[in-house]
Structure 1
Amino acid sequence: MPLIKRKHATAKAYVHDWLEPDQPGGINAFSATIILLVIVSLISLALETEAARADTTLEPWVREIVAQINLIVVWVFAAEFTLRFWSEGENPAHKGVVGRLKFLAQPITIADVLAFLPELIVILFYPQAAGGWLAALRALRLFRLFKLARYVPAFAIVGSAVKRAWAPLLAALCVAAAQLYIAAMMLYFIEGEAKPQAFGSIIRSLWWAIVTLTTVGYGDVYPETAWGRVAAGIVALAGIGIVAMPTGILASAFAEEFRERHERAQKAHDAKARRAPTE
């Protein structure tokens, strides 16, 4: 079944429908190419960080190939954004100057721009640039992950679930912050004099509190007095709740989101089945 079902009078309308298929979560040749390029660009970023090291075991030609791959990806993403911006006027919500500004202000559009524009500027105007700031520029390639949200339904489900659960997640974060501060303060008063390097202030104690309450437990900092160990045990038990609370909230939000999407899909399927005999 073709993803683009409507006939269009203009090339702009066709391009817009090509970029935004009728079928929710549908994959056409264009969206499949973008998904593949995102994955390839992230793999090439990992290879580039290794190839750039003086002690790398990779051959010199690997760095050249990775650079060419990134160049292709940047230009393709630039072309995609140009087509998307040009054809977005076909969306009634983004017609006119104000509508285009609303389109540019969307988080996913900002991510699209950051995914290619900074590196494109360097390629065009500073091709010989070098330095530590280029590492920060490479980090912006992570914004390419957000492009997948347009085409992969799983990313949309994650976003919807987090949006649904933001209020209880914020409450859980506030509880966790309070527990961290109380734990750091307890160990500061109990262990501050016995181990000043680790617990000599609340700020120093915060590292131990974070590691303990998140149940990571590196073991680099630990209390030595008896009362300190008692307090540490209480804090460690309380840390179970810090991990369990947001996990439970997100699990519940995911289950609710999946249930509602299944019900909507089932209703759409039933409605289509009822219309079929009359068509």
Structure 2
Amino acid sequence: MQGTWEKRRKRIFEIIEVGTEYDYVSRIYDFFNAFCIILNLAASMVYTFDSYREAYGALLMTIEQVTVALFMVDYFLRVWTAKYLYPGSSQPRAIWKYVTSFTGIVDLLSFLPQYLPFFFPAGAIAFRMFRIIRIFRLFRINAYYDSLNVITEVIVSKKQQLFSSVFIILMLMFASSLCMYSLEHEAQPDVFSNAFSGIWWAGSTLLTVGYGDIYPITTLGKLFGIFIAFLGVGIVAIPTGIISAGFVDQYSRIKRMSEYGHEADIHFIQIQLTEQDPWVGKTISQLHLPTRVIVAAIQRDHRILVPRGSMTLRMGDSMVLGAESFHNNKGERIQLKEMALQKNHPWIGQRIRELDISRKSIIVLIRRGEKTMIPHGGLVLREGDMVIFYSQMHIAGAEAIDL
């Protein structure tokens, strides 16, 4: 009975998490959840119009209450199945990790403000303000569709450049505020009362908004304002250009993969035989390779030999094996990732089963120096290891391997 109960809980976890293309129940739940998020936000926005509120107020409130109730059910299901989201942690620890995570907090606040006024009527207005956090549930839609994940990948890959550009903008804002205070304080002591009073002016000018509620009136102040306005056009364009270039690079890479991937019908690997390998001393015809796997060439003592069925393999031979690239009936391919564990990497010193990675991330093999190792749960990762794995999530420092 206990085993059946755990199977059901695991199955519910598979359904409520982002499903694979072949798990139709999970995919249906994903689409339904995304639909509820959009429907809830649409109803909340339409409710702000007086004419629609008078005509369809009851319907809009019903939609909001039903969708919020579904958000609550979804939250408690995720709490109940948290042990499978964090398989390396105990159940209380896994629940705590989910509840305190960004997605867990957003999931909680997406329904909790709706019901708090029933228990604390005095704080109804304040609780209503928290409903705006419900919009962050749109980030779940980003997880449902790979095309939207490009946004996250671009921002993560360009985070250092974006941080540098934002830092430059902030420093320029402070410097502009200080300079404008020096130029305008005597002429407008009430407007530019201190060095920080010009922050609003600097921000609106550098960001090319220019509300006009605070502006210089002296000649030097106007000239400096013109200079800052021109400078702001170029400075603010830096992060825009970084993100735009990132999108172009990402989509160009995806396009190249889709256009030219079909030309790589056969992939080759090279293996070197050691004395422990059972193929040593056998002929090629005795290997009983699968039908679609071929021995393309053999390198022996710096010579390239044409393989024949009667050729006997020796220790030290380098075999080049060829096979068709992986694809299913829909033409999809597997993309592996490799990552070198540099100094201070958080995976160093941890066992594979202790790694905090997605349930859809599978470590395929480990290269340690000249040695290739088959991964198992108790294997401890070391500095310099090359980890090859399959994952649908973005992992910083990992490079893609096209098969």
Same fold (TM over 0.5): yes
Contact between 2:181 and 2:193, CA under 8 Å: does it hold in 1? Answer: yes
Return closer, same or farther for 1:276/1:153 CA change in 2, 3 Å cut-off. closer
Contact between 2:34 and 2:141, CA under 8 Å: does it hold in 1? Answer: yes
Residue 101 of structure 1 is matched in structure 2 by 96
Aligned-residue offset at 1:235 = 0.7
- 2:10 paired with 1:13: yes
Return closer, same or farther for 1:186/1:192 CA change in 2, 3 Å cut-off. same
Aligned-residue offset at 1:234 = 1.2
Which whole-Å CA distance do the structure 2 matches of 1:118 and 1:131 have between them?
A: 9
Aligned-residue offset at 1:92 = 6.0
What code does the residue aligned with 2:21 have?
Q
Which whole-Å CA distance do the structure 2 matches of 1:275 and 1:224 have between them?
A: 69
Residue 152 of structure 1 is matched in structure 2 by 145
Residue 156 of structure 2 is matched in structure 1 by 163
Which whole-Å CA distance do the structure 1 matches of 2:83 and 2:256 have between them?
A: 32
DSSP-derived class of the 1:14 partner? helix
DSSP-derived class of the 1:161 partner? helix
Which whole-Å CA distance do the structure 1 matches of 2:324 and 2:115 have between them?
A: 49
Residue 325 of structure 2 is matched in structure 1 by 274
Contact between 1:165 and 1:250, CA under 8 Å: does it hold in 2? Answer: yes
Deviates more, 1:239-248 or 1:86-95: 86-95
Which whole-Å CA distance do the structure 1 matches of 2:34 and 2:164 have between them?
A: 35
Residue 126 of structure 2 is matched in structure 1 by 133
Aligned-residue offset at 1:275 = 4.4
- 2:33 paired with 1:40: no
- 2:104 paired with 1:113: no
Residue 173 of structure 2 is matched in structure 1 by 180
Aligned-residue offset at 1:42 = 0.8
Return closer, same or farther for 1:258/1:122 CA change in 2, 3 Å cut-off. farther
What code does the residue aligned with 1:65 have?
L
Aligned-residue offset at 1:119 = 2.1
Aligned-residue offset at 1:76 = 0.7
Which whole-Å CA distance do the structure 1 matches of 2:194 and 2:232 have between them?
A: 21
What code does the residue aligned with 1:21 have?
G
CA distances 1:41-97 after superposition (whole Å, capped 9, x unpaired): 1111113334xxxxx334535322222111101111111222233334344636532
Residue 83 of structure 1 is matched in structure 2 by 77
Aligned-residue offset at 1:263 = 7.0
- 2:237 paired with 1:244: yes
The answer for unaligned runs of 5 or more in structure 2 is: 1-5, 268-322, 329-403
Structure with the higher helix share, 1 or 2: 1
Structure-1-length-normalised TM-score? 0.79
Contact between 2:187 and 2:218, CA under 8 Å: does it hold in 1? Answer: yes
- 2:23 paired with 1:29: no
Aligned-residue offset at 1:139 = 1.8
Deviates more, 1:250-259 or 1:232-241: 250-259
What code does the residue aligned with 2:105 have?
I
Structure with the higher strand share, 1 or 2: 2
Contact between 1:94 and 1:100, CA under 8 Å: does it hold in 2? Answer: no
What code does the residue aligned with 2:67 have?
V
Residue 230 of structure 1 is matched in structure 2 by 223
Contact between 1:74 and 1:120, CA under 8 Å: does it hold in 2? Answer: no
Which whole-Å CA distance do the structure 1 matches of 2:247 and 2:179 have between them?
A: 36
Which whole-Å CA distance do the structure 2 matches of 1:86 and 1:135 have between them?
A: 27
Which whole-Å CA distance do the structure 2 matches of 1:177 and 1:214 have between them?
A: 11
Structure-2-length-normalised TM-score? 0.56
Which whole-Å CA distance do the structure 2 matches of 1:238 and 1:60 have between them?
A: 49
Which whole-Å CA distance do the structure 2 matches of 1:267 and 1:18 have between them?
A: 32
DSSP-derived class of the 1:10 partner? helix
Contact between 1:13 and 1:90, CA under 8 Å: does it hold in 2? Answer: yes
CA distances 1:113-153 after superposition (whole Å, capped 9, x unpaired): 22123324445x35x66743143132232232223233133
How many pairs does the alignment contain?
261
Which whole-Å CA distance do the structure 1 matches of 2:96 and 2:256 have between them?
A: 35
Which whole-Å CA distance do the structure 2 matches of 1:88 and 1:131 have between them?
A: 31
Which whole-Å CA distance do the structure 2 matches of 1:242 and 1:120 have between them?
A: 46
Whichever of the two has the greater Rg, that structure is: 2
State the percentage of identical aligned residues. Answer: 23
Larger RCO: Structure 1 or Structure 2 (Cα < 8 Å, ≥ 6 residues apart)?
Answer: 1
The answer for unaligned runs of 5 or more in structure 1 is: 1-8, 51-55
Which whole-Å CA distance do the structure 2 matches of 1:109 and 1:261 have between them?
A: 32
DSSP-derived class of the 1:188 partner? helix
